[in-house]
Amino acid sequence: MASAEIRIDNLSKTYGDLTAVDAVTLDVPAGSMVALTGPSGSGKSTLLHLVGAIERADTGTVTVDGLDITALRRGALSRYRQSIGFVFQRYHLLAPLTALDNVIAPTLPYRVPYDRVTRGRELLDAVGLAGREGAVPAELSGGQQQRVAIARALMVEPRLLLADEPTGNLDSRTGRQIIDLLVRLRAERGTTVLLATHEQHVAARCDRIVRLTDGAVTEDLDLLEGESEQETLARVTTLRP
Residue-level pLDDT, tens digit, the chain, 241 residues: 568 999 999 999 999 999 999 999 999 999 999 999 999 999 999 999 999 999 999 999 999 999 999 999 999 998 899 889 999 888 899 999 999 999 999 899 888 889 999 999 999 999 999 999 999 999 999 999 999 999 999 998 899 999 999 998 899 899 999 999 999 989 998 999 999 998 888 998 999 999 999 999 999 988 866 667 677 767 665 555 4
Flag whether 209 is in a domain: yes
Domain count, the chain: 1
CA distance 200 to 183: 15
Flag whether 241 is in a domain: no
- Say what the pTM is: 0.91
Distance from the Cα of residue 144 to its chain's centroid: 17
CA distance 218 to 216: 6
In degrees and rounded to multiples of 5, residue 161 shows phi and psi of: -120, 125
Flag whether 12 is in a domain: yes
The CATH number of whichever domain residue 101 belongs to comes to: 3.40.50.300
Flag whether 1 is in a domain: no
Domain containing 194 equals 6-236
